[in-house]
Amino acid sequence: MIREFALSYVPGILQTERYARAVLTTSYPPVSEAECDRLVVTRLERAKVLQDPVTPVVWVLLDEAVLRRAVGGRDVMGEQIMHIVRLVEGGRARVHVMPFTLGFHPLMDGMLTLMSFEDQPPVAYGEGLRMGKVHDSPSVVQELHGRYDLALSDALPLKESLALLRATAKDCGHHD
C-alpha cells in the first residue's frame, strides 16, 4: 500500500509527462534537456506500477493548493487533474482533497509517503526543501500514520473530491 500526501504539487507517481517536465525544468540549479528527459522517463517508469489493476493500493491526500497552482500552465494542469480523475474512476487510486477552508492540518510540514509491504515492516518518507528522509523506526512510522489518518478524516469525501477535481480541470479549460 502507498499513501501519499502532497502539499505543493502532484506526487511523482501520479504525474503526467508534461506535468513532470514542467516540475523538473523549473528546478534550481537548472538541469540540461538531456538530464530532464532522463528524469522524466524515470518518473514515468515508476508510475507504471499503477498499470497493475490491483497492487499497490494507492491512497492520496492532496492539499487544495496542489490543484490551484497551475504548474506548466492551465492546459498542462487541466490534463494532469483529468489524469488523476481517470485513476480514481478506474478504481486505481483513492484521492481526497484537503480544502483550504480546513485551515491548519497535521500534514502541513511537507510531503509524506507511507509504504506498507507484505514481507517487510512499513516505512515513511518525508520530504521538505532540499531534503528527504526515510523513516523506518516503528514509533516514527506509527506517528506519521496517525497524522495521515487524522488528516484523512478531515479531507473531503471521495465524491466531493472528484467533483472539485473535475471543476478545477474545467476551470483550466478541460471538459473531459
pLDDT tens-digit series, residues 59-101 = 999 999 999 999 999 999 999 999 999 999 999 999 999 999 9
Question: What span, in angstroms and rounded, lies between the C-alpha atoms of 15 and 62?
Answer: 13
**DSSP three-state, residue 114:** strand
Contact 154, 104 (CB under 8 A): no
Q: Is the pLDDT of residue 176 over 70?
A: no
Work out the percent of the chain whose per-residue pLDDT is above 90: 90
* 1 contacts 56 by C-beta, under 8 angstroms: yes
Q: Which of 54, 82, 70 is nearest to 9 (CA)?
A: 70
pLDDT, average across residues 6-18: 96
> In the predicted model, is pLDDT for residue 48 greater than 90?
yes
Q: Is the pLDDT of residue 113 over 80?
A: yes
Mean pLDDT of the chain: 95
Q: Identify the DSSP state of 156.
A: P
Q: Which residues pair with 2 in a beta bridge?
A: 58, 115
CB atoms within 10 A of CB 12: 20
For residues 168-172, average pLDDT: 95
